[in-house]
Chain A
Amino acid sequence: MILFSPQQGNQPESIPVLQVLLVDDDAAQRMLLTMTLERAGYEVLEASNGREALEVCRDYPDVRMIITDLSMPVMDGFELIQAIRADQVRYMYLIVLTSTEDKESVIKALSLGADDFLCKPALPEELKLRTMSGFRMLQMESTEELVFSMAKLSEYRSEETGCHLERVQHYTRLLARDLSETCPEMKISFAQADEISRVSPLHDIGKVAISDAILHKPGRLTPDEFEEIKKHTIIGGELLHDIYSKTRSHSIKIAYEIAKYHHEHFNGHGYPEGIKGDEIPIAARIMALADIYDALTNKRSYKDAMSHEEAKEIILVERGRQLDPRVIDSFLRQEDVWETIADKFMLDT
């Protein structure tokens, strides 16, 4: 396990120290930065050019942060950024070292994929704060990776077909992007639209806590069993809210809204809170339609798969009842694409 705070004082040997790779052809500059970073509790690895840095990355796979100069012999900082971004398995946080007046290089480095920059001379306090901020970002990313793995695990337990998560990602992206363009009052930016799609697989994460007997029961659920299954929205919501309160990750906040509210109805007759209309977060209203369409057009233990037209008919009946009319309009604007996605993933399954 990697801890995402610099080592302070005497730590047990079993706790690994965070590693930072310092890349600079200037040995004195490396020495100065190394001293500062080591005092802050980091383990520092050094390389004198981009090529050496790539070798260090291969030998030390736990390195997640690189601080690099830009102008270097053999392989410069720009080439290093490109090589790292082209070949990374886990996200590498990249900080570039630059001189104050060299704005062009900063812009070039950031556009190639650098995350942050430090102006020379890199003073100790700033260096410590920038590295801490980078590791905070990496912590969020690791948390999200973990949460998405949990979503995938929960899918294995579910009766839904293997591509359910992929399909809902496509459907939610289509809806969110379209609504960001056609419904400015919803205030969905293009980036948020993609974020909604990205976190949509977490909508049923609360089902991990529902018993197999209920989750896999063939046929209709009793009222008590239905009450039990309804709890997945609260459980998923609590889980994600807990993670959000620790990470303040915007993605996890959207995931929380989706997990908790995707069974709310536009007319207020849904669960868990019975909220209605615009009180329901937009991400959850989008998810609701995607989830319903996918459930209708795929086979379950208690029903056959419906055609696109049959599913559409049911969805239209729910206009203003279970579903937001504007979200349904968005679906209608691009229903041929939905049908294609449904068919494609049906064939792939």
Chain B
Amino acid sequence: MKKILVQDICEYLMLTYELSNVDTWKVLNTYSEVLKDTLTQLQSSVRNEEIKDAELHAHSLKGALLNLGLENLAQEASRLEQDFRVRIEKRHLLLVDSMVDALKDVANRSPDQGAALL
């Protein structure tokens, strides 16, 4: 899965939502928090085979990714959400892990990083 760059998301947010630098920074900071929490919860629910929670977290992840313009990843999240309505399989954990890896820079950035990028 291709690694997502913070700079690309910043550009997308500014262009699509007509955001100022300051607002882009604020939104990015909030999304970093949201993504970090959601991915952690998703990983945990998949590991523990909590099917309902896994579906809910996949759904939340899908929404966040769509807003950030990450359509391919959002499609992956959508497939996970649909799969979790039926069952959790081993391959799902691998898929979630690779999503975590792809989003690592965005989810694990410190709030100050945004200012430097902008």
Q: Which residues of A contact B (CB under 8 A)?
A: 25-29, 31-32, 35-36, 39, 69, 71, 73, 99, 101, 120-121, 123-124
Query: What would be 19 A-B contacts, judged by CB atoms less than 8 Å apart?
Result: A25-B60, A26-B34, A26-B64, A27-B30, A28-B27, A28-B30, A28-B31, A28-B33, A29-B64, A31-B26, A31-B30, A32-B17, A32-B27, A71-B59, A71-B60, A99-B62, A121-B16, A121-B67, A124-B16
Inter-chain CA distance A29–B8, complex, in Å, is 18
Interface residues of B in 2-32 (CB under 8 A from A): 16-19, 23, 26-27, 30-31
Give 8 closest A-B pairs by Cβ, nearest first.
A28-B30, A28-B31, A28-B34, A121-B67, A120-B66, A121-B66, A71-B59, A31-B30
Q: Mark B62-84, 1 if CB is under 8 A from A, else 0.
A: 11101101000000001000000
Inter-chain CA distance A120–B66, complex, in Å, is 6
Q: Which residues of B contact A (CB under 8 A)?
A: 16-19, 23, 26-27, 30-31, 33-34, 56, 59-60, 62-64, 66-67, 69, 78
**Closest chain A residue, CB of each to CB of B28:** A28
Instruction: Flag if A35 contacts B23 (CB, 8 Å).
Output: yes
CB distance from A69 to the nearest CB of B (A): 8
Contact A120/B78 with A25-B60, A35-B27, A99-B62 known, Cβ cut-off 8 Å: no
Instruction: Flag if A124 contacts B27 (CB, 8 Å).
Output: no
Instruction: Flag if B19 contacts A28 (CB, 8 Å).
Output: no
CB distance from A24 to the nearest CB of B (A): 8
Contacting residues, chain B, for A69 (C-beta < 8 A): 63
Contact A35/B17 with A27-B34, A28-B31, A71-B56 known, Cβ cut-off 8 Å: yes
Say which residue of A36, A101, A123, A124 sits within 8 Å of B78 (CB atoms).
Answer: A101
Inter-chain CA distance A71–B55, complex, in Å, is 11
Q: A26-B64, A71-B60, A121-B67 are in contact. List 15 more A-B contacts (CB 8 A).
A: A25-B60, A27-B30, A27-B33, A27-B34, A28-B31, A28-B34, A29-B63, A31-B30, A35-B27, A73-B56, A99-B63, A120-B66, A120-B67, A123-B16, A124-B18
Instruction: Flag if A32 contacts B78 (CB, 8 Å).
Output: no
Inter-chain CA distance A32–B16, complex, in Å, is 11
**Closest chain B residue, CB of each to CB of A69:** B63
Q: Is the interface of B mostly helix, strand, loop or mixed?
A: helix
CB distance from B100 to the nearest CB of A (A): 18
Instruction: Flag if A26 contacts B23 (CB, 8 Å).
Output: no
Contact A35/B66 with A27-B30, A28-B27 known, Cβ cut-off 8 Å: no
Contacting residues, chain B, for A31 (C-beta < 8 A): 26-27, 30
B23, B26, B63, B64: which has the most chain A beta carbons within 10 Å? B63
Instruction: Flag if A124 contacts B67 (CB, 8 Å).
Output: no
Instruction: Flag if A32 contacts B67 (CB, 8 Å).
Output: yes
Contact A124/B31 with A26-B64, A29-B67 known, Cβ cut-off 8 Å: no
CB distance from A82 to the nearest CB of B (A): 20
Contacting residues, chain B, for A71 (C-beta < 8 A): 56, 59-60
**Closest chain B residue, CB of each to CB of A35:** B23
Inter-chain CA distance A36–B63, complex, in Å, is 17
Instruction: Flag if B78 contacts A99 (CB, 8 Å).
Output: yes
Inter-chain CA distance A69–B59, complex, in Å, is 11
Contact A26/B60 with A31-B27, A32-B67 known, Cβ cut-off 8 Å: yes
CB distance from B45 to the nearest CB of A (A): 14
Inter-chain CA distance A29–B13, complex, in Å, is 12
Say which residue of A36, A99, A124 sits within 8 Å of B66 (CB atoms).
Answer: A99
**Closest chain A residue, CB of each to CB of B82:** A101
Inter-chain CA distance A31–B64, complex, in Å, is 12
Instruction: Flag if A35 contacts B67 (CB, 8 Å).
Output: no
